[in-house]
């Protein structure tokens, strides 16, 4: 087998460039990627060097002034500080939480599993304004089903609970509520892909279901788990929905100002002042940081490696 493979690759090297018809599989994707991915990104970079604020933009007229303005603005550190606090708690909670629940669900193959997976998934399926509506009620001690818990803290109105100290925890709660279900369902799909023989081998070796979950199943779905980790990092960096929900749902004072997270600040610049240049700068900074994190995860874990022999 090895020699056969080696022979194939050697002969391939000697051949001149050959058109692999399989590229057809990717052409539609590449086309859409160019139009809706690459061009917008290039334009965003162009905008970051352009001057806005005077009815029509002047491309390339700003030089580095947008970059300087954003990098020297104290708001930058404040906003990034906020999401750092959020991410520091959200990442471990969501990562371990979703993975653990998925594995625990899969410990036994029973009827409850499907029902519970559906229940966990539904919150993620609700549209944003509806989540805001739910949030208004869940946080009001007078009418929330969890009201008795909230009243234990002495709160009378929603604003009492959501103060500066508890804010981050509630946002993590909201995020966990809304997005774990989707990941649990994805992990279920992944777990069903595990070869039955592997499971049975584990059983014969004397693993109990818990050991099986931890030592056998977990590593086999690590590909998906790392993908989730990247996504959680992105979500943390691009945090918008949760602060937005809290700001919308609290009528009497919310601890969130319009530029609380970098994404909110960027949206503020886009929506209020029309300064697309500065907003592009913020987005590119976020992209850079996400990229560093993703590269770290990808290269350290070999996510991109396949054993497919290259030409």
Partner 1 sequence: MFKKSVFSVLNALIILTFVLSACSSPAAPQEGGAAPADANAPIEVWIDAAREESAGKFVDAYPDKGKLVSLTTTDYGQLPQKILFWNNVGSGWPDASFGGPQIVPLINDAAHDYLGDLAPYVDPNIVKDFAPGSLQNCWDGTKLYCLRNDLAHFVLWYNATKANELGIEIPETYEDLQATCASLKQSNPEIQCALGQQDVSFFNILVSNQCPFQQIIGAGELRINATHENCIKAAQWLDQMSQDGYYKLTDMFGTDASDIVKSDNWLFIPSSSWFGDYVIKGTYYDAADPNFEGKIGVAPMPKWEGQEHPWVFWWGGAAWVMSRHTQNPQLTADFLTYMTTDVIKEQGTYPAYMPAADEWLKSRMPTLTYLEDTTKAGEVLKSEAGHMWTMATEGPVDIGAIFGPILTKINAGELNYEAALAEWQAALVDGAGKLGYTPVTTGLDDFPSQ
Partner 2 sequence: MAQIFPSPRRSSSLKNAYTNWRYRTGLDPVSYLFRLGILLFFVIFFGVPILWLFITPSKAHKELTELPPLAFGSFTNVVDSWNRLMDYNNGIVLTWAWNSVWYVAFALTLCLIITIPAGYLLANVNIRGRKLLLWATLILMLLPSDAAVLPMYMELYLMRLINTPWAVILPAGFAPFAVYLTYTYYRTVMPRDLVDAAKVDGCSDLTMFWHIGLPLAQSIIAMLLFTQFATLWNGFFAASIFLESDRLKTLPVGVWVMAQQTGALNPNPSAYGKVLLLRPDMATISVITVLPVIIIFLISQRFIVRAATAGAIQGE
**Residue 224 Cβ, how far from partner 1 at the closest point, in Å?**
31
**Residue 77 Cβ, how far from partner 2 at the closest point, in Å?**
18
| Interaction residues for partner 1, span 124-183 (CB under 8 A) | 140-143, 156-160, 162-164
What tokens were used for 56?
A: 């029509």
Closer to partner 1 by Cβ: residue 157 or 185? 157
- With CA atoms as reference, report the closest residue to 183 among 120, 241, 131, 245: 120
| DSSP structure class, residue 25 | G
Angstrom CA distances, 250 to 160, 253, 258, 272, 277, stand at 10, 6, 14, 21, 31
| Interaction residues for partner 1, span 59-88 (CB under 8 A) | 59, 75
Return the one option of partner 1, partner 2, none that residue 157 interacts with (CB less than 5 to 8 A, by type): partner 1
Return the one option of partner 1, partner 2, none that residue 59 interacts with (CB less than 5 to 8 A, by type): partner 1
The single residue among 5, 38, 88, 96 that binds partner 1, judged by CB under 8 A, is 38
Angstrom CA distances, 166 to 159, 162, 169, stand at 11, 6, 5
Distance CA 108, CA 103 (A): 9
What tokens were used for 203?
A: 């059983």
Closer to partner 2 by Cβ: residue 89 or 230? 230
Q: Note whether 54 binds partner 1 by CB under 8 A.
A: yes
Return the one option of partner 1, partner 2, none that residue 90 interacts with (CB less than 5 to 8 A, by type): none
**Residue 125 Cβ, how far from partner 2 at the closest point, in Å?**
4
Return the one option of partner 2, partner 1, none that residue 254 interacts with (CB less than 5 to 8 A, by type): partner 1
Closer to partner 1 by Cβ: residue 177 or 268? 268
- Over the range 254-278, which residues count as b (16 or more CB within 10 Å of their CB) and which as e? bbbeebbbbbbbbbbbbeeeebbbb
Closer to partner 1 by Cβ: residue 272 or 305? 272
Q: Note whether 311 binds partner 1 by CB under 8 A.
A: no
Closer to partner 2 by Cβ: residue 68 or 119? 119
Polymer length of the chain: 311
Q: Note whether 46 binds partner 1 by CB under 8 A.
A: yes
**Residue 121 Cβ, how far from partner 2 at the closest point, in Å?**
6
The single residue among 268, 280, 283, 284 that binds partner 1, judged by CB under 8 A, is 268
Where helices occur in the chain by DSSP H, the ranges are: 2-14, 27-33, 39-48, 65-71, 74-105, 111-121, 128-138, 147-151, 158-161, 167-192, 196-204, 209-211, 218-220, 222-237, 241-249, 262-268, 276-301
Distance CA 15, CA 75 (A): 57
| Interaction residues for partner 1, span 272-291 (CB under 8 A) | 272-276
What tokens were used for 258?
A: 């319009």
Distance CA 180, CA 98 (A): 6
Rule CB under 8 A: which residues touch partner 1?
A: 17, 23, 30, 34, 38-39, 42-43, 46, 52-57, 59, 75, 140-143, 156-160, 162-164, 247, 250-259, 268, 270-276
């Amino acid at each position: 087998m090895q020699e056969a493979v080696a022979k194939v690759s050697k002969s391939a090297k000697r051949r001149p460039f050959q058109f692999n018809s399989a590229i057809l599989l990717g052409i539609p994707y590449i086309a859409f990627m160019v139009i809706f991915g690459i061009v917008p990104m290039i334009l965003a970079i162009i905008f970051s060097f352009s001057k806005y604020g005077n009815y029509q933009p002047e491309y390339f007229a700003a030089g580095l002034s947008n970059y300087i303005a954003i990098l020297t603005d104290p708001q930058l550190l404040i906003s990034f500080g906020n999401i750092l606090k959020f991410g520091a708690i959200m990442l471990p909670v969501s990562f371990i939480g979703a993975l653990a629940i998925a594995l625990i669900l899969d410990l036994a193959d029973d009827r409850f599993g499907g029902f519970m997976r559906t229940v966990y998934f539904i919150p993620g399926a609700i549209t944003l304004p509806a989540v805001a509506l739910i949030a208004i009620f869940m946080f009001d001690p007078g009418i929330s089903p969890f009201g008795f818990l909230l009243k234990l803290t002495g709160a009378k109105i929603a604003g009492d609970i959501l103060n500066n100290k508890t804010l981050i925890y509630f946002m993590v709660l909201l995020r966990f509520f809304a997005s774990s279900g989707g990941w649990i369902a994805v992990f279920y799909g992944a777990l069903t892909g595990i070869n039955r023989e592997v499971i049975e081998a584990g059983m014969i070796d004397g693993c109990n279901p818990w050991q099986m979950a931890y030592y056998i199943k977990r590593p086999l779905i690590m590909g998906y788990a790392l993908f989730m980790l990247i996504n959680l990092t992105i979500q943390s960096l691009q945090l918008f929905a949760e602060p937005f929900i809290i700001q919308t749902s609290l009528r009497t004072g919310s601890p969130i100002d319009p530029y609380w997270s970098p994404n909110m600040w960027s949206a503020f610049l886009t929506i209020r002042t029309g300064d697309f240049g500065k907003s592009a700068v913020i987005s590119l900074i976020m992209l850079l940081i996400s990229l560093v994190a993703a590269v770290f995860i990808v290269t350290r874990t070999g996510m991109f490696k396949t054993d497919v022999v290259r030409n």
